[in-house]
Amino acid sequence: MAMNADQAREMAELAASRPDQLAIIDHELRFNPTWRRMKELVDGGFLGDTTTSM
């Protein structure tokens, strides 16, 4: 999340100064090859029609 120790300290200090806020890491792995392959499978109809509700 930080590029160096100074940035990490700065983020930790900021997080500690704002107890009313959450300081979290949101790992969005949209470029992960597994997720890309899953999208290809869904888009290709592997799971059938995913647009209709039950």
Pairwise CA distance, residues 52 & 35, whole Å = 22
pLDDT band at 25 (very low <50, low <70, confident <90, very high): confident
Question: What's the longest Cα–Cα distance across the chain?
Answer: 52
23 CB-near residues (< 8 Å, 6+ apart): 11, 14, 15
Residue 54 has pLDDT above 70, yes or no: no
pTM: 0.46
The DSSP annotation for 1-54 comes to --SSHHHHHHHHHHHHH-TTS--------TT-HHHHHHHHHHHTTTT---SS--
Q: Where are the domains of the chain?
A: 25-54
